[in-house]
Amino acid sequence: MNLINGKEVAAKLKQDIAAETASWVASGGKRPYLVAVLVGEDGASQTYVGHKEKACREVGFDSRVVRLDAGISESELLEVIEGLNRDAEVDGFIVQLPLPKHISEQRVIEAISPEKDVDGFHPENTGRMITGLDAYIPATPDGILELLKYYQIETSGKHCVVIGRSNIVGRPIANLLSMKGYPGDCTVTLCHSRTANLKEVVRTGDIVIAALGVAEFVTADMIKEGAVVIDVGITRVKSDTSKNGFKLLGDVKFDEVAPKCSYITPVPGGVGPMTIVSLMKNTLKAARRRSAK
């Protein structure tokens, strides 16, 4: 069994982005500027946004967090977004999800200018991505592709089983792995809560991507000997033994599944750190694209 070390790969790729940024700025390019919009006080979202700010500093980007009260109305939030769309200094921005219940995430995503949509959530970017055009690829699917490439994991002709059909992970990664060329050319099955005989289907996967958001759902009896297992889950559960009072669990029961795998990602330290790198990649791309105009 080979452990996929996302933390180590992310650190290396971040160094590459820092070097690219330094030479871009030295040659007169505009320093990339990322803004994160954070609505409310959700603990996990605050942590993620904190990680994104830290990564910006590390690679040499400017960044800012716009903190808004949980009670902000949808139209007020849409005005903030319009302001960021117009702000010539801002290369890219994200609105951290989830949003409070009274705000439509879809309306918010569609309000973001596709050129500044470094999350790659706008339908224009989704459409461009699935037709193979240049687009911002969402961070988690892109992070998974980077891990497959880094470990030179064969994908051509493999059966990839994706569990979970979210717009952020399941659907895009299923699409990307079916694309022509490496790391694609997979035969893909996209499973979800209504899939019949789920265990049997997952057991046929050469590559299994668990992205359903149910802690320790994937057990050893669902995994074929020698499979590659990518765990996208991050469920926070209370823990008496950890400093901050909680621990993170993946969608895979790691201890029993790992011995059967050729490669597996741990949680934490697998896909998670890679998502930040992908966001940095997209932000550098945004800054370059805007200068080219």
Which listed range, 55-63, 90-98, 99-107, 126-134, lies at the site for ligand GUN (CB under 6 A)?
90-98
Q: Decide: is 146 part of the binding site for ligand GUN (CB under 6 A).
A: no
Token pair, residue 82, equals 């319009």
Q: Decide: is 257 part of the binding site for ligand GUN (CB under 6 A).
A: no
C-alpha dihedral over 72, 74, 79, 83, to 10 degrees? 80
Which single residue brings its beta carbon nearest to ligand GUN?
97
* Residue selected from 59, 139, 153, 212 as contacting ligand GUN according to rule CB under 6 A: 139
Q: Decide: is 96 part of the binding site for ligand GUN (CB under 6 A).
A: yes
Q: Decide: is 177 part of the binding site for ligand GUN (CB under 6 A).
A: no
Give the 3-state secondary structure of 196-263. Answer: CCHHHHHHCCCEEEECCCCCCCECHHHCCCCCEEEECCCEEEECCCCCCCEEEECCECHHHHHHHCCE
* Residue selected from 17, 35, 95, 286 as contacting ligand GUN according to rule CB under 6 A: 95
Q: How far is CA 206 from CA 161, 193, 259, 267, 274, in A?
A: 8, 21, 15, 20, 22
* Residue selected from 65, 78, 97, 179 as contacting ligand GUN according to rule CB under 6 A: 97
* Residue selected from 90, 94, 160, 228 as contacting ligand GUN according to rule CB under 6 A: 94
Q: What's the chain's length in residues? A: 293
Specify the DSSP class assigned to residue 32.
Answer: P
Nearer to ligand GUN, 95 or 287 (CB): 95
Catalytic residues: 52, 96, 119
- Interface ranges with ligand GUN (CB under 6 A): 94-97, 119, 139, 275
